[in-house]
Amino acid sequence: FIKKLENLQNAKQLKELWMNDNKIDTFDGLNCITSNIIETIYLERNPIQLNDPQKYKQQILSAFPSLIQLDALPLMSRLRANKIESTIQFKDNKDNHNDDNNKSNENDSVSNV
């Protein structure tokens, strides 16, 4: 059984962590996970999850904002929020690009006068 998470700081592209049914009992080792793109964490049936499920969920969600699946529960509201955010960002970038084009066209017409 694994009792502690460690040595994952170089796994920058880590998207999934499956460590269910082990002996992890503290949040201390989670700080070695430095991936900004982690989407799935399974720590079910570890003491960390069994001892205080509500605290466990809050701590994990707070530490990993990119998470869309925690244990067997898909985080649908977070998935929707991430999708909406990326749509808004795409729209904003597109609008900014169009504004830049309009400004460029305005400058062109001024210089042609």
pLDDT in tens, 56-107: 998 998 899 889 899 988 877 655 555 555 555 555 555 555 555 554 444 4
Give the pLDDT score at 69. Answer: 92
Q: What is the dihedral angle through the alpha carbons of 23, 27, 33, 38, rounded to the nearest 10 degrees?
A: 90
Q: What is the model's pTM?
A: 0.65
Report pLDDT for 72. Answer: 86
Tokens in use for 73? 């529960």
pLDDT value for 109: 43
Angle at 43 (CA atoms; ends 37, 45), nearest 5 degrees: 170
What tokens appear for 104 in the block?
Answer: 């460029």
Q: What is the pLDDT of residues 16-70, one digit of tens each?
A: 999 999 999 999 888 899 999 999 999 999 999 999 999 999 899 889 988 989 9
* 3-state secondary structure (DSSP) of residue 56: helix
